[in-house]
Amino acid sequence: MWFIIGVVLIYNLLLFYIGWNGWKWIKSIWGEKRPVFKYVYWLVLLFFAYSFMLGRLFNEDFFITWIGAIWLGLFYFLLLLLPFVNLTVFLIKKYTTLSKTAVTKNTGIVTLTVVAGLFSYGIFNAYSPVVRNYAINIPKQVKDKQTITIAMASDMHFGMLSGDKQAKKLVDKINSMNPDLVIFPGDIIDDDVQPFLDEGIPDILKQINAPVYASLGNHDRDDEVDLYKILNESGMRLLADEVVELENGVTLIGRKDRGYQDVVRAKLPELLKQVDASKPLLLLEHQPYDLDIAKNYGIDLMLSGHTHRGQIAPMNFITDKIYENDWGYLKKGTLQSIVSSGYGLWGTPIRLGSRSEILKITVTFNK
C-alpha cells in the first residue's frame, strides 16, 4: 500500500515539474491570461497524464489508449530533456543580457522540435521492421536437409498499438524468407486477447506458409478466456511446457513463462527426460534467463525475446545489466543464445536505440 502511495506521489511531483515548465513556456508566448486558461491547461494535462489508466476503465477504448501511449513517450522524453533545458535557460539568463521571455520562448520551441523529431524517428523504428540474419552451426545430424531456415518473431504484443496491418506485414516478411520453421517465443498478445480477435489476426497468421511453434510470454495472459485454445487455433502450435520432435529430428522445448508467481511450470530437467539428447535441442524461453542451466543440460539453441532491448534508449543500458544476453547472439560452450529486440512494442508506440525486427536464422547441422 505504502509503495503504491509513494509511486503515485513521485509521479505527481514529476507531472507538476513538467506542467510548470509547460505553463511558463505558454506564458512566454501568450502572456498572462485569465485564470480560467490556467485551470483548463492543468485539467487537460491531468487527462493526458492519467489517460493510460482511463483506457483500462473504459474497456481499452482505442482513442484513450492511444492518448495514454503517446503521453508515456512524451513523459519519458520530457523527463530526460527538461533538466538540461532548465540548466541552459538558467545559464543564459545569468550570463547574458537576453530577454528572459525570449529565452524561455525559444528554448521551449527547440525542446518541442526535438521531442517531435524523436517521436517521428521512434515511430518509424517501431512500425518499420527489419530482417536480421544469423547463421549458426549445430554439430548434430538431422534427417534430409542439413541446413534449415528459421523465421523468428517475438513480442508482437498484438493489441491496440499493433493491429492487423502489422500482422499482415509480419506474415509477408516471413513468407518472403521461405522458412522451414517459424518460432514465436512469447508475448504474442498484449494482456487482452480481445483486440487480437477483433482485428482478425488469427486468420492473418494462418497465412504463414510454414509450421509455426510458439511459447508463452509474460503478456500472454487473459483469465477470462481459454487463451491456449485461441492461440492453437491461430495457425500455430503452442508449446506450454511441452516437447515436440520434428520429422527431421530437431526437438523443440517450449516453456511457460516465469513472469507470474502463480504460474507452475516444469523444470527444464523434467522436460528433457522426454528428449533424445543426440538430436538438436531448441529451447523456446521467452525471458533470456538461466543460460548456464540451459548450457549444462545440453540445449543447443535458446531462442528468446522479452527485453525489447530496452525499447527506448537509454533503457538498453539497464537491460544490458540485467541479462547476460539482452539482444543478439551469444555462445556459451555448446549453447547458442539468440535474443530478439521484438517485433511489436509495449506502452508507447516508439523505439529509440532499438528497432522492430524479424530474425532469419540459418542453421547448418553437421558433426
Q: Are residues 219 and 294 in the same domain?
A: yes
Q: What is the mean pLDDT of the chain?
A: 92
Q: Are residues 110 and 136 in the same domain?
A: no
CA atoms lying within 13 Å on the CB side of residue 139: 5
Model confidence at 299, pLDDT cuts 50, 70, 90, reads very high
Percent of the chain residues topping a pLDDT of 90: 77
pLDDT number for residue 260: 66
Q: Are residues 245 and 287 in the same domain?
A: yes
Q: Are residues 156 and 69 in the same domain?
A: no
Q: Are residues 40 and 102 in the same domain?
A: yes
pLDDT number for residue 213: 98
Strand ranges of the sheet holding 130-138, from the earlier edge strand across to the other edge: 130-138, 357-365, 147-152, 181-185, 212-215, 237-238
Which grid cell is 353?
A: 536505440
Q: What is the pLDDT of residues 224-264, one digit of tens each?
A: 789 999 999 999 999 999 999 999 999 999 999 987 667 78
Q: Are residues 207 and 341 in the same domain?
A: yes
Q: Are residues 171 and 319 in the same domain?
A: yes
Q: What is the pLDDT of residues 43-62, one digit of tens each?
A: 999 999 988 777 666 666 77
Given 76, 91, 126, the domain boundary residue is 126
Work out the burial of residue 220: count CB atoms within 10 Å of its CB; fewer than 13 is exposed, 13-18 middle, 19 or more buried. buried
DSSP per residue, 202-218: HHHHTT-SS-EEEE--T
Q: Are residues 67 and 142 in the same domain?
A: no
Nearest 5 degrees, angle CA 68-CA 204-CA 343? 50
Residues in CB range of 297: below 8 A, 6 or more apart: 268, 269, 272
> Is the confidence at residue 35, as pLDDT, over 90?
no
Q: What is the CATH classification number for the domain harbouring 201? A: 3.60.21.10
Locus of grid cell 508475448: 187
Model confidence at 132, pLDDT cuts 50, 70, 90, reads very high
Q: What is the pLDDT of residues 162-221, one digit of tens each?
A: 999 999 999 999 999 999 999 999 999 998 899 999 999 999 999 999 999 999 999 998
Q: Which of 203, 146, 181 is nearest to 254 (CA)?
A: 181
pLDDT number for residue 94: 85
CA atoms lying within 13 Å on the CB side of residue 59: 1
Domain count across the chain: 2
51 in Cβ contact with 67 (< 8 Å): yes
> Is the confidence at residue 29, as pLDDT, over 90?
no
70 in Cβ contact with 83 (< 8 Å): no
Given 107, 126, 145, the domain boundary residue is 126
Given 126, 149, 170, the domain boundary residue is 126
Phi, psi of 181 (to 5 degrees): -155, 140
Domain range holding 83?
Answer: 2-126
284 in Cβ contact with 183 (< 8 Å): yes
Return d(Cα 328, Cα 181) in angstroms, integer. 19
Q: Are residues 14 and 51 in the same domain?
A: yes
pLDDT number for residue 156: 97
Q: Are residues 134 and 116 in the same domain?
A: no
> Could you tell me where the beta strands, DSSP code E, fall in the chain?
130-138, 147-152, 181-185, 212-215, 237-238, 242-245, 251-254, 281-284, 301-304, 328-332, 335-339, 357-365
Torsion 288-273-220-345 (CA) sign: positive
Q: Are residues 137 and 277 in the same domain?
A: yes
> Is the confidence at residue 86, as pLDDT, over 80?
yes
Model confidence at 325, pLDDT cuts 50, 70, 90, reads very high
Q: Are residues 164 and 301 in the same domain?
A: yes
This prediction has a pTM of 0.91
